[in-house]
Structure 1
Amino acid sequence: MSTTIYRGAAVFTADDAPARAVVEAFAVRDGRFSAVGTLDEVRAASDPASGPVAEVDLAGRFVAPGIIDSHTHLAGFGASLAKTPLRDCASLSEIQQRLLAARAADPEAARVLGIGWLFDAVGDGQPTAAMLDEVLPEVPVYLDANDLHSMWVNTAALREMGITRETPDPVGGEIARDADGEATGMLYETACTQYGWAFLEAASTADDLVHALDAAFRSYLAVGVTGATEMSLNAAEVSGLRTLIARDGRLPFPVTAHWILEPSGDAERDLAGITGIVALRDEIAASDAAEWLRIAGVKFIMDGVIDACTATMRAPYADGSNAEPIWTAERILPVAAAADRAGLQIAMHAIGDRTSEIALDAVEHCIRVNGPRPRRHRIEHLESVADTTIERMGELGVVASMQPVHCDPAVLDNWKAMLGDERGETGFPWQKFRAAGVPLTLGTDAPTAPHQPLPNLYIALTGGSVLAPELPPYHPERVFTPAEALTALTAGGAWAGEMEETCGRIRAGLDANFIVLDVNPLEAHPSALLDATVRSTHVRGAEAHRA
Structure 2
Amino acid sequence: MRQKMLLAFAAGAMLASCGESENAEGPEVADLLFSGGTVYTVDGDATVAEAIAVRGDKILYVGSAEGAKAYVGPNTLTEDISGKIVFPGFTDSHAHLPDGGDTILGLGLGGLTSAEQIVHAVKAYADAHPELPAIMGSGWELNLFPDANPNKALLDEIVPDRPVMLVAADGHNGWVNTRALDLAGVTSETADPVNGRIERDAEGNPTGTLRESAQGLVSHIFPKPAVEDVVRNLEAGLAYQAGNGITATIDAAIMHDHNEAAYLEVSSRQDLPQRVRLSLLAAEEMVTSMVTPDNVEAVVEKLVERRAQFRAQAKDRLDADAVKIFVDGVPENHTAAMLEPYVNAPLGPDHRGEINLSEEALNAYAIALENAGFQIHIHAIGDRAVRVSLNALEGAIETNGERPRRHHLSHLEIVQPEDIQRFAPLGVTANLQALWHFNDAYISELTEPFLQEKLHRWIYPAKSFVNAGARVVWGSDWPVSTSDPFDSMEVAVLRKNPDDANDQSWIPEERLSVDDMIKALTINGAYLMGQEDIRGSLEVGKQADFILVDADPYKVLPEDISDIRVLRTYIGGRQVFSAAE
Superposition TM-score, scaled by structure 1 size: 0.92
Between the aligned partners of 1:245 and 1:284, the Cα distance in structure 2 is 7
Check if 1:244 corresponds to 2:266. Answer: yes
Letter in 1 for 2:182: R
Query: 1:34 maps to which residue?
Result: 60
Query: 2:305 maps to which residue?
Result: 279
Instruction: Please identify, of 69-78 and 417-426, the stretch whose mean Cα deviation from structure 2 is larger.
Output: 417-426
Query: 1:217 maps to which residue?
Result: 238
Query: 1:9 maps to which residue?
Result: 37
Instruction: Name the CA shift for 1:474/1:251 in 2 (closer, same or farther; >3 Å).
Output: same
Instruction: Name the CA shift for 1:162/1:16 in 2 (closer, same or farther; >3 Å).
Output: farther
Q: Of residues 290, 293, 314 in structure 1, which corresponds to 2:339?
A: 314
Q: CA deviation at 1:199?
A: 5.0
Query: 2:227 maps to which residue?
Result: 206
Task: Give the unaligned 5+ runs of structure 2.
Answer: 1-28, 284-288
Contact 2:291 2:357 (8 Å CA) reproduced: no
Query: 1:226 maps to which residue?
Result: 247
Between the aligned partners of 1:198 and 1:523, the Cα distance in structure 2 is 51
Between the aligned partners of 2:220 and 2:296, the Cα distance in structure 1 is 19
Check if 1:151 corresponds to 2:174. Answer: yes
Query: 1:498 maps to which residue?
Result: 530
Q: CA deviation at 1:428?
A: 1.4
Letter in 1 for 2:376: I
Between the aligned partners of 1:170 and 1:337, the Cα distance in structure 2 is 28
Between the aligned partners of 2:514 and 2:341, the Cα distance in structure 1 is 36
Query: 1:24 maps to which residue?
Result: 50
Query: 1:63 maps to which residue?
Result: 86
Between the aligned partners of 1:62 and 1:213, the Cα distance in structure 2 is 29
Contact 2:490 2:559 (8 Å CA) reproduced: yes
Instruction: Name the CA shift for 1:369/1:422 in 2 (closer, same or farther; >3 Å).
Output: closer
Cα distance per residue 1:327-385 (max 9 Å; x no partner): 22122111111001111111110000111000011001101221122321111110110
Secondary structure, in 3 states, of the residue corresponding to 1:290? coil
Q: CA deviation at 1:52?
A: 4.6
Letter in 2 for 1:394: A
Secondary structure, in 3 states, of the residue corresponding to 1:412? helix
Letter in 2 for 1:318: V
Contact 2:103 2:109 (8 Å CA) reproduced: no
Letter in 2 for 1:243: E
Cα distance per residue 1:5-43 (max 9 Å; x no partner): 21111111121213x1x2111111111112222234444
Contact 1:171 1:264 (8 Å CA) reproduced: no
Contact 2:327 2:356 (8 Å CA) reproduced: yes
Q: CA deviation at 1:216?
A: 0.5
Secondary structure, in 3 states, of the residue corresponding to 1:307? helix
Query: 1:368 maps to which residue?
Result: 398
Between the aligned partners of 1:5 and 1:272, the Cα distance in structure 2 is 52
Query: 1:172 maps to which residue?
Result: 195
Between the aligned partners of 1:203 and 1:281, the Cα distance in structure 2 is 23
Secondary structure, in 3 states, of the residue corresponding to 2:421? helix
Q: CA deviation at 1:168?
A: 5.5
Check if 1:293 corresponds to 2:318. Answer: yes
Secondary structure, in 3 states, of the residue corresponding to 1:209? helix
Letter in 2 for 1:242: L
Query: 1:385 maps to which residue?
Result: 415
Identity of aligned residues (%): 30
Q: Of residues 320, 332, 347 in structure 1, which corresponds to 2:377?
A: 347
Between the aligned partners of 1:227 and 1:135, the Cα distance in structure 2 is 40
Query: 1:429 maps to which residue?
Result: 461
Cα distance per residue 1:414-453 (max 9 Å; x no partner): 2333325553343111111001111110010011111222
Contact 2:417 2:458 (8 Å CA) reproduced: no
Q: CA deviation at 1:204?
A: 1.3
Q: CA deviation at 1:148?
A: 1.0
Between the aligned partners of 1:252 and 1:129, the Cα distance in structure 2 is 40
Contact 2:486 2:564 (8 Å CA) reproduced: yes
Between the aligned partners of 2:521 and 2:186, the Cα distance in structure 1 is 42
Secondary structure, in 3 states, of the residue corresponding to 1:433? helix
Between the aligned partners of 2:86 and 2:238, the Cα distance in structure 1 is 21
Query: 2:275 maps to which residue?
Result: 254
Q: 1:105-184 residue pairs with structure 2 within 5 A?
A: 105-164=128-187, 169-177=192-200, 182-184=205-207
Instruction: Please identify, of 133-142 and 167-176, the stretch whose mean Cα deviation from structure 2 is larger.
Output: 167-176
Q: CA deviation at 1:228?
A: 0.3
Q: CA deviation at 1:170?
A: 4.1
Cα distance per residue 1:161-195 (max 9 Å; x no partner): 44445655443223334566643322222233x44
Instruction: Name the CA shift for 1:58/1:128 in 2 (closer, same or farther; >3 Å).
Output: same
Between the aligned partners of 1:47 and 1:252, the Cα distance in structure 2 is 27
Contact 1:4 1:54 (8 Å CA) reproduced: yes
Instruction: Name the CA shift for 1:305/1:80 in 2 (closer, same or farther; >3 Å).
Output: same
Cα distance per residue 1:264-307 (max 9 Å; x no partner): 264443431211222332442243x1312111211100000111
Query: 2:23 maps to which residue?
Result: none
Between the aligned partners of 2:42 and 2:577, the Cα distance in structure 1 is 22
Q: 1:394-409 residue pairs with structure 2 within 5 A?
A: 394-409=424-439
Instruction: Please identify, of 358-367 and 215-224, the stretch whose mean Cα deviation from structure 2 is larger.
Output: 215-224
Between the aligned partners of 1:59 and 1:227, the Cα distance in structure 2 is 27
Query: 1:187 maps to which residue?
Result: 210
Secondary structure, in 3 states, of the residue corresponding to 2:209? strand
Letter in 1 for 2:32: T
Q: Of residues 100, 118, 132 in structure 2, which corresponds to 1:95?
A: 118
Secondary structure, in 3 states, of the residue corresponding to 1:203? coil
Check if 1:269 corresponds to 2:299. Answer: no
Between the aligned partners of 1:342 and 1:265, the Cα distance in structure 2 is 16
Tell me the number of residue pairs that the alignment of Structure 1 and Structure 2 aligns: 538
Contact 2:253 2:281 (8 Å CA) reproduced: yes
Between the aligned partners of 1:293 and 1:285, the Cα distance in structure 2 is 9
Contact 2:267 2:310 (8 Å CA) reproduced: no
Letter in 1 for 2:412: L
Instruction: Name the CA shift for 1:229/1:102 in 2 (closer, same or farther; >3 Å).
Output: same
Instruction: Name the CA shift for 1:432/1:196 in 2 (closer, same or farther; >3 Å).
Output: farther
Q: Of residues 507, 510, 517 in structure 1, which corresponds to 2:542?
A: 510
Letter in 2 for 1:16: G
Between the aligned partners of 1:160 and 1:527, the Cα distance in structure 2 is 50
Instruction: Name the CA shift for 1:168/1:470 in 2 (closer, same or farther; >3 Å).
Output: same
Letter in 2 for 1:231: A
Cα distance per residue 1:200-230 (max 9 Å; x no partner): 4x52111210110011011111121111001
Between the aligned partners of 2:220 and 2:534, the Cα distance in structure 1 is 35
Query: 1:412 maps to which residue?
Result: 443
Between the aligned partners of 2:57 and 2:291, the Cα distance in structure 1 is 48
Between the aligned partners of 1:34 and 1:291, the Cα distance in structure 2 is 21
Between the aligned partners of 1:178 and 1:330, the Cα distance in structure 2 is 36
Between the aligned partners of 1:198 and 1:34, the Cα distance in structure 2 is 53
Letter in 1 for 2:102: A
